[in-house]
Structure 1
Amino acid sequence: MTLSRRTVLGGAPLLAAAAGGLRPFAAMAAPDAGPLRAAMTGFTLINTLDPGKAAANPEFFIIWGIFNTLVKFDAKMNVVGDLAESWSNPDPTTWEFRLRSGVKFHDGSDLTSDDVVFTFQRIADEKFGSPVRRKMAPLISVEAIDPQTVRMKTDKPFAPLLTYLSNTRTSTQIVCKKAVLAMGDEQYGRTPVGSGPWKLTEWRPNEKLTFAAHADYFEAGLPRSPALEVMLIRDDSSAINALAAGGLHFVNAVPYGDTERVKRMASVGFSSMPGLNARFAHLNIQRPPFDDVHFRRAVSMSINRQAFVQAVVFGQAVPSQGYIPQAIGWAHDKEPRPYAQYNPQAAKAELAKSKYGADVEVVVYGLPDAWWKRMSEVFVDMVNRTLGTKFRVEFMDSRTHFQRWMANDGQCWPNGWIALCDPDEYLFDCFHSTGWRNFSKYSNPQVDSLLEQARQELDREKKGGPLYIQAERLIAEDCPSVFLMNTYSNSAVLKKVSGFDHTPFDGFGAQLASMTGG
């Protein structure tokens, strides 16, 4: 499954309770006639449901069901209309969107072009502090032409714009101007008013969120269930047990160690595909020993990625040599990259060229949960076995881990990006010298130039793809990250549930609108 060229050029119409186990869910009545019950597992911390402020994946998983965007991805990863019924690109720096008429927010007010303009004004406001403000910097104006027409202008041709306007991890979900001004930003993040299929009715932090169906939702027949409960379950296996007992309809992530067990469950359907993610060990190239390219290359070539995949996620991943996953086929490079291949002899030769020896001490900051823990442990073990180095792991909670990573306070962080849908997100954001995810300030003028050119190529498949591939090859030579794997997206759903479409980007909140418990 790949993102096609028409994805961008197709302007045609268009929760930490339950760690203790099964009991809270086994006690539930069979959910057939009641609300749809879904579990969001693993990382479940939610700080805000304001799209403009959201930063963590669990926040977006919920936001996707509360809000809409101008466009969205369908199940085949093509861009189709969401709030926009059509759009055009009259010149390389201008985009016009025609909004659907009759769209209602949860408070009954009409969604118009004023709400769209307000949404992007908030993102652009430095005082508001949106995490994606820099990402949307190429967008220099958003204008309401009439109540149903919006015109956007960029400072130069900006090919990723449509992807960045989609209902994924973009923060471009359209907010209700009237509600934001009445509540204020902080309250809006706790009691959001959107136009999506689900209206929030209760939020119990670290336990669950409850929703009612949006009666005036503009897509006929959706949502198919009258209500929704999203359980926030830190322990993935507890969610699987609850699903098997009939207390849940859907689990968004099946633990890699549980997949064979789930496949044997007569009442449960299992779905799996390579996801839109990158798993890697991020290196602080500003601090010893990773300020030395030869040391970085030695570490990268010391990893047997096929064995790594088997040891960490039971084979449920694709070994990777870059960030761009195979689901984005037009920008994915299949040619081997020498410094991202397992080669013990070459790794030792690179270490010999380094100004640091094998006796240098390296602290790897790991995440303590599930396969993330194994990821750090196996990474350290492989490097030490191959190079004779003294790498060791220190584990910390996800919030501290991410804060220290963003501050570049440490040496190495095994981690990953998920729910990204455009090569610009993987490469420009992470490796351009001005990229907002470029935490260690990697800088290569040639890479910068290629990524800037790729951003301006509206013919993304034929012209943009080769530029991204060329840039990523150079990045792989510099090794600012050790590329490891592209993990599978695994979901489990009761077989009696209908309407589930599995997509590489795991739409969760948006996916639930078409599902019914039967």
Structure 2
Amino acid sequence: MKNKRNFLVLLFILFAAIITAGCSDTDEANSGDNENEAKGEKAAEQVLNIANDQEPAGLDPHKTPAHSSIRIYSQIYEGLLRFDENMEIEGQLAKEWEQPDDTSYVFHLKEGVKFHNGREMTADDVVYSFERILDEETASHIASYFSNVETVEAEDTYTVKFTLSEPDATFLSYLTNASAVVVPQETVEENEDLQQVAIGTGPFKLEEWVPDNHVTLVRNEDYYVEDQPKLDQVVYNTMKEESSRLSAIRTGEVDMTTLSAKSASLLEDQEGLNILDYQSLEYSYVGFNVDKEPFNDEKVRQALSLATDRQSIADIVWDGDAVISGPVAPSMGDWAIDVTEEELYQRNVDKAKELLAEAGYPDGFTTEITTASTYPDMVDTAQLLQQQWKDIGVEATIKQIEWGEYIDTWSNTSADILVGRNGSGTDPDRSLNYFFNTEGSANVWNFSNDNFDQLVEKGRETLDIEKRKEIYVEAQEEIINLSPNLFLVSPMNYVAVRDNVEGFTPYPHNGEEITEVFKK
């Protein structure tokens, strides 16, 4: 009996243990399910959907200037420096720097920063990146920013030295540019370029790019800045039609989108939405291929300027939410001149006809205006110019092309007249040197003027701020008179944001910052 009783006790203990183990496994499984559900809820809450007006034109930061690309690759890549919210320069990949003399800069890098492939970023990567920017074969759109750089050297693993050929007042500000970033050499060599791949050090990693549909970024779990980013995933949805973006933000399909002034006004009283606005650093323009007749004659370009009613463009295209602008947008403050006082900004049809006659076109001429079909403001601007220029005998047809073809047309100077938008940047040198110096990386107009080149080069070399301002006043007046572009208006920018999105503040110099954004 004793042995039987012991056996039954042992059997009971074993049975209880099995039941307990089963319950424990079930509880753990349920606990795991609960944790996964919690994580699922968090992931769902922390996915930000953005409606984009354009497809990226490529993701290589050293080669692609399109804003549709910058807004994405600026989340993936980082440079040595950046601007803070007050437009003060601060370190990004560089923790500190010094300037031993007027032509040398030494940067000390943050340690332990990793590329998205897991490799540590070092001074050698900085050297490679800037050598790539300056290599003619790269054809980088920012090469002229760093044309004064003679050498870039890695002094040790975390120290890099730049030596310039002459003093350069723009050097530090240009290091904040979204394209002046550090890339890994092995990724470039494996893929030939970075147009379809992206490996940076930034807060987000590229997960997927489905052409004409969406780009998905995911949180960089190894990001070196504590508690950033807040979001787990960002999806950039391509919605070229503004009506589609308007509908998507209303219904909550997307959390954020840029809108025109007209569309923004339609959402002012929409429940669940906030409309944020800020004066942009952009301006709209008309660009001429000055190698082609009749635009190789500055009198023709001046005549078209005199025939242009810029205030009508501000009122009609931008619903009055734009200011008349020169090459340096008014939001740059004291760097910009008051262009409304310039003679070529006063609409004068009689004077315009006189200039056309002096240039050999007393009866006007026919031409074609090219613009991007997916930007309504560009199309509307082209149509207004078409109407206004008729008054001086210029008959213009309008050619609307898709965004990819538009970028190619811009870079190849394959249009006689191009309507578009440019950014003034954060230093007047970009507005003037970058776009209009004979050697400027973005001088796609075949424009060249020795006196202007000397002016902007002097402005770049001058370290005294007040003297620089005097030089750039003269340079702005000069380029307006020569008119390789007609500078039109600088618009307000509008962003519609769902009211459950926190931490988003657009700035004139950076309307895309999302590292502190989260959804409540």
Structure-2 change in CA distance of 1:146 and 1:365 (3 Å) = same
Does 1:374 find its partner at 2:368?
Answer: no
Q: How much has 1:31 moved relative to structure 2?
A: 9.3
Counterpart position of 1:224: 230
Q: How much has 1:379 moved relative to structure 2?
A: 1.0
Q: Residue type matched to 2:136 in 1?
A: E
Q: Residue type matched to 1:118 in 2?
A: Y
| Alignment equivalent of 2:286, drawn from 241, 258, 281 | 281
Counterpart position of 2:516: 514
Counterpart position of 1:481: 485
Structure-2 change in CA distance of 1:361 and 1:215 (3 Å) = same
Q: How much has 1:133 moved relative to structure 2?
A: 3.1
Query: Using the alignment, how far apart are the partners of 1:359 and 1:191 within structure 2?
Result: 49
The answer to whether the 8 A contact 2:112-2:120 is kept is yes
Q: How does 1:455-494 map to 2 (within 5 A)?
A: 455-459=460-464, 461-494=465-498
Unaligned runs of 5+ in 1: 1-28
The answer to whether the 8 A contact 2:46-2:230 is kept is no
Counterpart position of 1:23: none
Q: Residue type matched to 1:288 in 2?
A: E
Q: Residue type matched to 2:130 in 1?
A: F
| Alignment equivalent of 1:155, drawn from 149, 162, 165 | 165
Q: Residue type matched to 1:90 in 2?
A: P
Q: How much has 1:167 moved relative to structure 2?
A: 4.3
The answer to whether the 8 A contact 1:340-1:483 is kept is no
Query: Using the alignment, how far apart are the partners of 2:432 and 2:111 within structure 1?
Result: 37
Bigger relative CO (Cα 8 Å, ≥ 6 apart): 1
Bigger drift between 488-497 and 419-428 goes to 419-428
Unaligned runs of 5+ in 2: 1-39
Counterpart position of 2:151: 141
Query: Using the alignment, how far apart are the partners of 1:213 and 1:496 within structure 2?
Result: 20
Listed one character per residue, the Cα deviations across residues 440-475 of structure 1 (whole Å, up to 9, x for unaligned) are 32222221111010111223x312122112111011
Query: Using the alignment, how far apart are the partners of 1:189 and 1:285 within structure 2?
Result: 31
The answer to whether the 8 A contact 1:309-1:485 is kept is yes
Structure-2 change in CA distance of 1:495 and 1:155 (3 Å) = same
Structure-2 change in CA distance of 1:343 and 1:494 (3 Å) = same
Structure-2 change in CA distance of 1:87 and 1:507 (3 Å) = farther
Q: Match of 1:234, SS?
A: coil
The answer to whether the 8 A contact 1:34-1:227 is kept is no
The answer to whether the 8 A contact 1:279-1:484 is kept is yes
| Alignment equivalent of 2:50, drawn from 31, 34, 39 | 39
Structure-2 change in CA distance of 1:229 and 1:450 (3 Å) = same
| Alignment equivalent of 1:56, drawn from 66, 69, 90 | 66
The answer to whether the 8 A contact 2:173-2:426 is kept is yes
Listed one character per residue, the Cα deviations across residues 237-289 of structure 1 (whole Å, up to 9, x for unaligned) are 312322221222221x2133201112221211111122121211112222222
Q: How much has 1:502 moved relative to structure 2?
A: 0.9
The answer to whether the 8 A contact 1:31-1:248 is kept is no
Counterpart position of 2:180: 172
Does 1:263 find its partner at 2:271?
Answer: no
Counterpart position of 2:113: 103
The answer to whether the 8 A contact 2:459-2:468 is kept is yes
The answer to whether the 8 A contact 2:214-2:236 is kept is yes
Query: Using the alignment, how far apart are the partners of 1:103 and 1:419 within structure 2?
Result: 31
Question: What is the TM-score when the length of structure 1 is the normalising length?
Answer: 0.87
Structure-2 change in CA distance of 1:179 and 1:392 (3 Å) = closer
Structure-2 change in CA distance of 1:329 and 1:410 (3 Å) = same
| Alignment equivalent of 1:453, drawn from 458, 461, 465 | 458
Query: Using the alignment, how far apart are the partners of 1:90 and 1:341 within structure 2?
Result: 49
Q: Match of 1:486, SS?
A: strand
Q: Residue type matched to 1:353 in 2?
A: E
RMSD of aligned alpha carbons:
2.2
Does 1:498 find its partner at 2:506?
Answer: no
Q: How much has 1:83 moved relative to structure 2?
A: 0.9
Q: Residue type matched to 2:371 in 1?
A: G
Query: Using the alignment, how far apart are the partners of 2:153 and 2:166 within structure 1?
Result: 17
Structure-2 change in CA distance of 1:503 and 1:107 (3 Å) = same
| Alignment equivalent of 2:240, drawn from 234, 242, 250 | 234
Structure-2 change in CA distance of 1:52 and 1:294 (3 Å) = closer
Q: How much has 1:36 moved relative to structure 2?
A: 2.8
Q: How does 1:173-192 map to 2 (within 5 A)?
A: 173-181=181-189, 183-186=190-193, 188-192=194-198
| Alignment equivalent of 2:440, drawn from 424, 435, 441 | 435
Q: Residue type matched to 1:517 in 2?
A: K
Q: How much has 1:126 moved relative to structure 2?
A: 2.9
Q: How much has 1:30 moved relative to structure 2?
A: 10
Question: What is the TM-score when the length of structure 2 is the normalising length?
Answer: 0.87
Query: Using the alignment, how far apart are the partners of 2:133 and 2:473 within structure 1?
Result: 30
Query: Using the alignment, how far apart are the partners of 2:331 and 2:94 within structure 1?
Result: 25
Query: Using the alignment, how far apart are the partners of 1:246 and 1:360 within structure 2?
Result: 50
| Alignment equivalent of 2:126, drawn from 116, 123, 128 | 116
Query: Using the alignment, how far apart are the partners of 2:384 and 2:255 within structure 1?
Result: 34
Q: How much has 1:418 moved relative to structure 2?
A: 3.0
Does 1:294 find its partner at 2:299?
Answer: yes
Structure-2 change in CA distance of 1:131 and 1:437 (3 Å) = closer
Q: How does 1:45-84 map to 2 (within 5 A)?
A: 45-47=56-58, 49-84=59-94
Does 1:347 find its partner at 2:372?
Answer: no
Q: How much has 1:367 moved relative to structure 2?
A: 2.4
Q: How much has 1:507 moved relative to structure 2?
A: 4.2
